[in-house]
Amino acid sequence: MAAKAGHTNMMTDTIIANLPPEALRSTLRGLLGGNAPLTAKFNSIVSDYLISTKPTPFPELFVVTDAGFRTLPALQEQMIRYRCLMGCGKGVESLCEVLNVVAQLKEFGENLGWEDAGIMEKLADIGGEIAGIDGDVVQAVTAVHKELIVDGETRAMEDVEIDIAVNLVKALRSCQDKLEGGGVSFERAVQSVETLLKSQRNEQNIDRSSNPRSTGFKSTVSKLEAFKLGDAQVPRIFCGLWQFSSPAWGTATKEKIHADFRKHVDAGLIAYDMADHYGDAEATFGGFRSSQADSASIFCATKWCVFNHIQVSKDLVDSSINERLSAINATEVELLQFHWQDYDDHQYVEAAKLIEANPHVRNLGLCNFDTVHMNEMLDSGMKVVSNQVQFSLIDLRPTFLMAESCRKHGVKLLTYGSLCGGFLAEKWFGKSMPGLFDKDMTPSHRKYLEMITIWGGWPLFQELLAVLRALGQKYKVTVSNVAVRWILDHDFVGAVIVGSRMGISEHIEENLKVFSFGLEKDDQELIGQVLERSNAKEVFEAMGDCGAEYR
The answer, yes or no, to whether residue 3 has pLDDT greater than 70, is no
**pLDDT tens track for 507-535:** 899 999 999 999 999 999 999 999 999 99
Cβ distance 358 to 314 under 8 Å?
A: no
**pLDDT tens track for 251-274:** 777 888 999 999 999 999 999 999
The answer, yes or no, to whether residue 224 has pLDDT greater than 70, is yes
Of the candidate CATH numbers 3.40.50.300, 3.30.450.40, 3.20.20.100, 1.10.10.60, the domain formed by 226-550 belongs to 3.20.20.100
Q: What is the mean pLDDT of the chain?
A: 89
The DSSP secondary-structure symbol of 308 reads S
What is residue 456's predicted lDDT score, i.e. its pLDDT? 96
Fill in the amino acid letter for 38.
L
**pLDDT tens track for 64-94:** 777 667 889 999 999 999 999 999 999 999 9
**pLDDT tens track for 5-59:** 556 788 988 998 999 988 899 899 889 887 888 999 999 999 999 999 999 999 9
> Which of 334, 343, 330, 413 lies closest to 373, judged by CA?
343
More confident residue, 73 or 217: 73
**Where do runs of H (alpha helix) occur along 329-434?**
348-357, 371-379, 402-409
Q: What percent of the chain has pLDDT over 90?
A: 68
What is residue 54's predicted lDDT score, i.e. its pLDDT? 92
The answer, yes or no, to whether residue 209 has pLDDT greater than 50, is no
Report d(CA 80, CA 376) in Å as an integer: 44
Cβ distance 415 to 496 under 8 Å?
A: yes
The segment(s) of the chain belonging to CATH 3.20.20.100 are 226-550
Distances (CA, A) of 396 to 317, 389, 403, 452, 511: 33, 11, 10, 12, 22
Q: What percent of the chain has pLDDT over 70?
A: 90
**pLDDT tens track for 281-334:** 999 999 999 999 999 999 999 999 999 889 999 999 999 999 999 999 999 999
What is residue 67's predicted lDDT score, i.e. its pLDDT? 64
Query: What's the predicted TM-score (pTM) here?
Result: 0.87
**pLDDT tens track for 100-136:** 999 998 888 777 666 665 555 666 566 677 778 888 9
What is residue 208's predicted lDDT score, i.e. its pLDDT? 41
